[in-house]
Amino acid sequence: MEYRSLSLRCVICNVFDYQLNAVVSLTGSKKSHNLVYEHKHFEFGNQDNTVIKKEFLIPYQKG
């Protein structure tokens, strides 16, 4: 079985709410990333801005 690795990218967004959920899966979409996490929803935050993390699948390379 081939394994994959992950690359994560954090972004600060100047919006109150980016996606209405803690995690959104974009499986099967044409996007370059497959999951988006919005940290505010894990802690029920009320900040004016929000932080998201995009998860990118990348091929595993030994070493």
Domain around 32: 4-58
In a domain, 31, yes or no: yes
In a domain, 30, yes or no: yes
Domain count across the chain? 1
CA distances from 45 to 26, 36, 55 (A): 24, 17, 22
In a domain, 40, yes or no: yes
In a domain, 63, yes or no: no
In a domain, 15, yes or no: yes
In a domain, 32, yes or no: yes
Q: Please, are residues 36 and 55 in contact by the beta-carbon 8 Å criterion?
A: yes
6-60 residue pLDDT tens: 889 999 999 999 999 999 988 776 667 788 999 999 988 889 999 999 988 877 7
pTM of this structure: 0.75
